[in-house]
Amino acid sequence: MIRQIIYKTLPVVFILSSLLGCKTLQRPIKTENKVVPLTYGSSQDSTTVARMNWKEYFSDANLVALIDSALKRNQELNITLQEIEILRNEVRTRRGEYLPFVDVRAGAGVEKEGRYTRHGSVDENGEIMPGKRFPDPLPNYEMGVFASWEVDVWKKLRNSKKAAALRYLAGREGRNFLVTNLIGEIANSYYELMALDNQLDIIVKNIAIQTNALQIVRQQKEAAKLTQLAVNRFEAQLLNTTNLQYEIRQKIVETENELSFLTGSFPNGIPRSSIQFNDITLDSLRVGIPSQLLANRADIRQAELELSAARLDIKAARANFFPSVRIEGGVGFQAFNASYLLNPESMLFRMAGDLVAPLVNRNAIIAQYNSATARQVQAVYDYERTILNAYVDVVNQLSSVQNFAKSYEAKSREVDILMQSVVISNSLFRSARADYLEVLLTQREALESKMELVEIKRRQMNSKVNIYRALGGGWN
């Protein structure tokens, strides 16, 4: 009677659970906006330097060697590779969840039932065979193959596995984005090191010039043509310039050590050809069109894969509202005596099926579904933000390339004029037609302008690096 009631009730529970589940699933799924501007200004050329391999984009052999070393030995990159391996194993775990679990089992035990229980009274009054009672306590030997399988009717497990696979792919894109940034960071530090070398060279040459000027002023003071004030002013400027070199030398040490750290090695000097720094020319950079960012930028592809995984999470969470079906079975041998274990009459066969439907405790399932939906909306905003950030990044760096090229040209003319002024002021000073303050001021302005010219060149080279990174180059 009870069994008949259960059989009649199960379909009702199944239908009610399905209806309640459908009633809950009314939340609209937010879609992402992929629309980007058609061009970066007036250019409509679809050719982009992002497709170039980094070994072609950076022609300096020393820089190429540094980047190659970093891609093999950088600790952060290697940590990321292990995180990707963890994601790969998560995919294997999810794949195994919707396959049957099969176990080989063997065991032995002993059981003593109470006399005044149903099983105890049966054992007491029953016989295994005529004239032979059940052993007390009752041994039990068992061996066989047993399986259990959750039938993935609503694709909950398969969607979870697909979501894990997408996150694994997103992890690989995250590694590619890290490679892009690592290459950019090494290139920027390398050019900064070259700029510092050139600034140090400028300071050393100015120290020599100012030392010679100080000797001339002292001679003129001894000849009573100048006062001690002039000597003090020249000497103070020399000391100021001398002090600048120590700051530059410290920056060189720190930059070298930073490059060593990025390449995963202890500091041991960084090979470079700094003497050619100011002669480096920038070829015209092809940036392509904004829509290419969706394919070239690894962070955009990563955000897109994360968004797809979040949508599958919603489907998996939705499946929790519906009944789950689980099948268990086994075949083997069981006996109270080991000598009877392989007897055909000791064979056992077990098959069972469970239908479990959420009916009362639905708050936790609803909360999981709402959380999955919120994470999907969050992933949409993150995807749109990543696209917007990429476009703004390219526009900023493209403007930087153009403006620093013009700035370098203007500053170069300023340096030429000031260097001519230094020669003129020294000549006038020797012939007593210019005050020593004019000489000091001209020398200071010339030094500052040459230092600024090197700094502008460094920023110009950074623009070359950053536009390549912003367009998504470096990882391929």
Q: For 274-295, how does the pLDDT look when each residue is reduced to its tens digit (9 = 90+)?
A: 888 888 887 777 888 888 899 8
Q: Pick 274 or 16 by higher pLDDT.
A: 274
Whole-number pLDDT of residue 235? 87
Q: Which fold is adopted by the domain 101-151+323-356?
A: Outer membrane efflux proteins (OEP) (2.20.200)
Q: Pick 117 or 388 by higher pLDDT.
A: 388
> How does DSSP classify residue 472?
T
Helix H or strand E segment including 166? helix 156-222
Q: Which CATH architecture has domain 20-98+152-322+362-470?
A: Up-down Bundle (1.20)
Please state, in angstroms and rounded to a whole number, the distance separating the CA atoms of residues 262 and 327: 54
Q: Which of 132-141, 227-236, 389-398 has the lowest mean pLDDT?
A: 132-141
Report residue 18's pLDDT band, with 50, 70 and 90 as the boundaries. low
Whether pLDDT at 196 is above 50? yes
Whether pLDDT at 405 is above 70? yes
- Residue 463 has a CB neighbour count (10 Å cut-off) of 23
Q: Pick 128 or 69 by higher pLDDT.
A: 69
Whether pLDDT at 246 is above 90? yes
Q: Is the peptide bond before 137 cis (omega within 30 degrees of 0)?
A: yes
Please state, in angstroms and rounded to a whole number, the distance separating the CA atoms of residues 388 and 390: 5
pTM: 0.80
CA angle centred on 74, ends 454 and 179, rounded to 5°: 70
Whole-number pLDDT of residue 120? 66
- Residues ≥6 apart with Cβ < 8 Å to 166: 305, 306, 308, 309, 312
Q: In whole numbers, what is the pLDDT of the chain averaged over residues?
A: 82
- Dihedral sign for Cα 111, 112, 118, 123, please: positive
Share of the chain above pLDDT 90, in %: 28
Please state, in angstroms and rounded to a whole number, the distance separating the CA atoms of residues 130 and 118: 21
Whole-number pLDDT of residue 5? 41
Please state, in angstroms and rounded to a whole number, the distance separating the CA atoms of residues 241 and 443: 11
> How does DSSP classify residue 283?
P
pLDDT, average across residues 307-323? 86
Structure tokens at 296: 């070239």
Whole-number pLDDT of residue 304? 92
Q: Rounded to whole angstroms, what are the CA distances from 336 to 21, 86, 108, 332, 339?
A: 48, 46, 9, 14, 9
Whether pLDDT at 3 is above 70? no
pLDDT, average across residues 96-119? 74
Whether pLDDT at 16 is above 50? no
Residue ranges matching CATH 1.20.1600.10 in the chain: 20-98+152-322+362-470
Whole-number pLDDT of residue 368? 85
Whether pLDDT at 226 is above 80? no
Whole-number pLDDT of residue 129? 66
Whether pLDDT at 362 is above 80? no
Please state, in angstroms and rounded to a whole number, the distance separating the CA atoms of residues 425 and 435: 9
Whether pLDDT at 228 is above 80? yes
Which residues does residue 139 pair with via DSSP β-bridges, in sequence order? Answer: 110
Instruction: Name the 3-class secondary structure at 139.
Output: strand
Q: Is 54 exposed, middle or buried (0-12, 13-18, 19+ CB in 10 A)?
A: buried
Instruction: Name the 3-class secondary structure at 427.
Output: helix
Q: Which of 160-164, 261-265, 365-369, 429-433 has the lowest mean pLDDT?
A: 429-433
| Ordered alpha helix ranges (H), 263-297 | 293-296
Whether pLDDT at 263 is above 80? yes
Please state, in angstroms and rounded to a whole number, the distance separating the CA atoms of residues 377 and 380: 5
Residue ranges matching CATH 2.20.200.10 in the chain: 101-151+323-356
Structure tokens at 476: 């391929």
Report residue 7's pLDDT band, with 50, 70 and 90 as the boundaries. very low
**Exposure pattern of 220-233 as b/e (b: 16+ CB <10 Å)?**
bbeeeebeeebbeb
- Dihedral sign for Cα 185, 74, 390, 471, please: positive
Whole-number pLDDT of residue 122? 66
Q: How far apart are the first and last CA of the chain?
A: 70
Q: Which of 3-17, 33-47, 411-425 has the highest mean pLDDT?
A: 411-425
